[in-house]
């Protein structure tokens, strides 16, 4: 009996009418959320949090030179800069720099910044978030 109840509940939840939540205001309908088909795209999509943030950055000599701390988006919502940190221990003495996203390459599942070293990153102007 439980299986039939669960199957019925899942069928109800997976119907198109149940997957889109509508909010009505004065004769208009706004769909909030994603459909089951769109959710599959989200699940199988690329996640900045999981696949970029905190990942090591290497140079073309396969030396670890830093890690990705943040991704800066431009007004068109595409990645424009990667914030790479180098040096430091437990957050003390860390030097963050902004690197144009087009300079970072993905090679063999690693982020590579060709021609860079820890010293070149440390010699760059530090990145600091604007105070608001």
- Tens of pLDDT, residue by residue over 101-120, are 999 998 888 899 999 999 99
Domains and CATH numbers, the chain: 2-43 (no CATH), 48-123 (2.30.30.240)
Tell me how far apart the alpha carbons of residues 94 and 126 are, in angstroms, rounded to a whole number.
10
CA 42 to chain centre: 12
- Tens of pLDDT, residue by residue over 19-29, are 444 444 555 66
pLDDT band at 65 (very low <50, low <70, confident <90, very high): very high
Q: Judge whether residue 16 has pLDDT over 80.
A: no
**Helix (H/G/I), strand (E/B), else coil: 41:** helix
Output the CA angle 24-25-30, nearest 5 degrees: 50
What are the C-alpha distances in Å from 105 to residues 33, 48, 100?
A: 33, 15, 11
């Amino acid at each position: 009996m439980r299986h039939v109840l669960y199957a019925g509940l899942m069928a109800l939840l997976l119907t198109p009418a149940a997957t889109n939540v509508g909010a009505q205001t004065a004769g208009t309908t706004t769909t909030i959320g994603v459909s089951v088909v769109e959710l599959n795209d989200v699940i199988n999509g690329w996640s900045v949090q999981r696949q970029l943030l905190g990942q090591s950055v290497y140079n073309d000599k396969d030396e670890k030179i830093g890690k990705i701390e943040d991704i800066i988006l431009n007004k068109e919502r595409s990645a424009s800069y990667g914030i790479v940190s180098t040096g430091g221990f437990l957050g003390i003495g860390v030097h963050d720099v902004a690197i144009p996203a087009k300079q970072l390459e993905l090679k063999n599942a690693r982020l590579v910044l060709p021609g860079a070293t820890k010293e070149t990153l440390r010699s760059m102007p530090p990145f600091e978030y604007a105070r608001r």
